[in-house]
Amino acid sequence: MKVVKVGILGLGTVGGGTVNVLQKNQQDIGRRTGCKIIVTRASARDVTRPRICSTDGIQLTTNPKEIINDPEIQIILELMGGEEPAKSLIIQSLKQGKHVVTANKALIANHGNELFEIAAENNVVLAYEAAIAGGIPIVKAMREGLSGNSIEWLSGIINGTGNFILTEMRDKGSAFADVLKEAQELGYAEADPEYDVEGIDAAHKLCILASLAFGIPLNFKKVYTEGISKITPLDVTYAEELGYRIKHLGVAKKTDVGVEMRVHLTLIPENRLIANVDGVMNAVLVKGNAVGPTLYYGPGAGADATGSAVVADIVDLCRQIDSPAEQRVPPLGFASNELKELPILLIEEVTTAFYLRLSVEDKPGVMAAITTILADNGISIEAVLQKELKQHGANTHVILLTDSVVEKSLLSALSEIESLSSINEPAIRIRVESLQ
């Protein structure tokens, strides 16, 4: 049996999980690849720290370059995270003719175009299944399983921390800050949770998914991003009364005028499968023009789940390690010379329905004024809720669901509405997706 030697840069949670998966499933992996995969070396900042995996037979070092320079190692696993030194180490590995597997979504989203080009120039592969949605094999599903389709749109719950927070707010009626603290205590959120709760982590993943879907170069800077930190239990409750769940979604759509890439809070009809994805789980819904909607669900993080995705890439590499480049699946699923720059729409140009919450004085004529302004801007109302607020005297919450409208038209209407003397505070607006 052919031996394939692997070196790991970063032996933390994902690195340790990868070693565990390789050891636990070595017999099946060997049968699938015809290879014996051996992790011979690994780097870590502190080689004396306890590990979640056995390090028997693995030579540990604090210098990752020792691993890259080892001529016997054929596959490098970059599991360090962060942009540097990870980027430089990946480039060195590729230029030395070593295949690389990474779980680094920020690196792929921001520098993937450059890194894939370097890999091609050196006739090696940069694989990244573990960069998106943990153990869900969404890259292979989109790049290979759905390759007979033209992808129309995709929508995903692709950050487990945010999904946990929204689930707890719905189930317990808790405030955002309280649930965030709980998530940090449980280890679901970092001490600095910005990337999770402000949507940056999800935006990295959506950028990659959009490129896989539409054959466009990676363009993270064009992803519109909103977080979840301003959500209130009131809006979660009102959404439920209207038959919706609030989820933090990454949405990518291909339209006649360009591509949408956006991450934000979204109302989803409660009977949709993705609306019932709770806790730290992830899910991606993809609509192809031939197959229709398909849903991919599973754990979005964790040692073994993410290690499973890393090992899947190692298996692929073992199967094609001696294959010529033209027989390999392109990194984004489209031939590199077929990637096309398409217009990326600004959020003001996107058409969606909206949930609006207005705090108004409870007096005659207020609703008439609001509906007149909306009608003048071509905006239809699909549903209305009115809630008396005893703690605020004569004030009332008016909750509206609109029909689909170009966002700039809605913003114009809201500017007029908020100028009314009967409106007490800025409107709350959340986009609505039917996902059909």
Q: Which residues have a Cβ under 8 Å from the Cβ of 140 and sit 6 or more positions away?
A: 129, 312
Cα–Cα distance, 162 to 206 (Å, whole number)? 15
CA atoms within 13 A on the CB side of 94: 25
For residue 283, give both structure tokens.
């899910």
For residue 378, give both structure tokens.
């071509």
> Known catalytic residue: 205?
yes
Cα–Cα distance, 55 to 60 (Å, whole number)? 8
Question: Catalytic pick from 87, 105, 140, 205?
Answer: 205
**Vertex 57: Cα angle to 56 and 63 (nearest 5):** 100
For residue 129, give both structure tokens.
């299944």
Q: Which residues have a Cβ under 8 Å from the Cβ of 343 and sit 6 or more positions away?
A: 257, 258, 259
Taking alpha carbons only, the member of 419, 399, 344, 267 closest to residue 411 is: 419
What is the widest separation between alpha-carbon atoms in the chain? 83
Burial of 188 (0-12, 13-18, 19+ CB in 10 A): buried
Q: Which residues have a Cβ under 8 Å from the Cβ of 222 and sit 6 or more positions away?
A: 261, 344
Give the catalytic positions in this structure.
205
